[in-house]
Amino acid sequence: MDNAITPRGPKPRRRLSRANIMLYGTLIVVAMYYALPLYVMVVTSLKGMPEIRLGNVFSPPVEITFQPWVKAWSEACTGINCDGLSRGFWNSVQILIPSVFLSIVIASINGYALANWRFKGADVFFTILILGAFIPYQVMLYPIVIILREMGLYGSLWGLVLVHTVFGMPILTLLFRNYFTAIPEELFKAARVDGAGFWGIYFRIMLPMSLPIFVVAMILQVTGIWNDFLFGVIYTRPEIYPMTVQLNNIVNSVQGVKEYNVNMAATLLTGLVPLIIYFASGKLFVRGIAAGAVKG
């Protein structure tokens, strides 16, 4: 028995230890705190106004109705138009797709160049980009109005696309630069020895290895652009308002009876796109943040 192997390593911890109970209890309380408003929104959107007037916001609907969702999508009045959120949804889609595509493509090339190609003035360029990430948007609102007016883009969807692309550049460039810096430099040097150039290395080596950080950039841009209200109300006109501006017009309407069920349904409809994208790619988002966003 002298040769018996004794177990080594730390003693296994009990699953229901006091520390675990405290940890999971805290997480459950925090989750309930953030889930409660969502629950109220969902149950209110499925009730009729007579039931809402009874005053119990936490009770489930006695009789489920989807009419508030239908009205929020296609019948609610947003100013002089009574076509609901549908028009604003398609305006937001037309703004979102080119803005996300252009900002991510340009930022990924910037980050790749800053990480692997030490061109003259790279540090100055990177410093300017980082400073741009911390300039308050409100400071630049009026100068951008003048610039878009001179370019003939003020009040158009493409003007708003340009604004979102430019304002997304600093933080996305930082993310891509940090991610590409973490990729082993030997791969880059080997490709250079084999005769690959700037674009060859970018498309054949960097892009195939960068799916997580592209997902991070996409989620950040989709969330920021889709939820934007300030730029949408300033740089567009009523006919092409994005969905968030239309939502504001529905919720803050002072005409007629305040329909809380329609307001809640409209709010949920507006938030569905970023929620779906996040839940569909959440694991890659965490991987990309861990791999690139915390490295200098």
Type of residue at 240: I
Task: Return averaged pLDDT per consecutive 10 residues of the chain, 296 residues in all.
Answer: 60 69 90 91 92 86 91 83 87 94 93 82 79 81 92 92 91 88 84 84 87 88 92 90 90 76 92 86 67 49
- Co-location of 30 and 110 in the same domain: no
170 vs 140: CA distance, rounded Å: 15
pTM here?
Answer: 0.81
Residue 267 resides in a domain? yes
Domain containing 49 equals 18-65
99, two tokens: 């803005």
Give the H or E element holding residue 248: helix 243-251
Question: Do 97 and 208 reside in the same domain of the chain?
Answer: yes
Q: Of the residues 65, 95, 120, which one is the last residue of a structural domain?
A: 65
Asked whether residue 105 is domain-assigned, the answer is yes
Q: Is 233 within a domain?
A: yes
49 shares its domain with 94: no
Is the domain of 231 the same as that of 143? yes
Residue 222 confidence (pLDDT): 92
Identity at 287, one-letter amino acid code: R
Say whether both 280 and 219 belong to one domain. yes
Same domain? For 187 and 44 the reply is no
In-domain check, residue 162: yes
Q: What is the pLDDT of residue 281?
A: 76
pLDDT for 290: 61
Same domain, 110 and 161: yes
108 and 32 within one domain: no
4 found inside a domain: no
Of 30, 65, 100, which closes a domain? 65
The domain total for the chain is 2
**Residues 258 and 175 grouped into a single domain:** yes
Same domain as 61, residue 91: no
- CA-CA distance, 78 to 50, in Å (whole number)? 24
Q: Residue 145: which CATH number?
A: 1.10.3720.10
Q: What is the 3-state secondary structure (H, E, C) of 144-213?
A: HHHHHHHHCCCCCHHHHHHHHHHHHHHHHHHHHHHHHHHCCHHHHHHHHHCCCCHHHHHHHHHHHHCHHH
The answer to whether residues 181 and 210 touch, using CB atoms and an 8 Å cutoff, is no
C-alpha count within 13 angstroms, C-beta hemisphere, residue 21: 4
For residue 21, give the amino acid letter: I
Residue 286, both tokens? 């965490």
How distant, in Å, are the alpha carbons of 78, 79, 82, 190 from that of 75? Answer: 9, 12, 5, 61
Residue type, 257: V
DSSP letter at 5 equals: P
**What's the pLDDT score for residue 139?**
86
Cβ-Cβ contacts under 8 Å for 256 (sequence gap 6 or more): none
Residue 32 lies in a domain: yes
175 to each of 109, 128, 158, 189, how far by Cα in Å? 12, 15, 25, 22
* Pair (136, 179) in one structural domain: yes
- 159 phi and psi, to 5 degrees? -65, -40
Q: Are residues 54 and 92 both part of a single domain? A: no
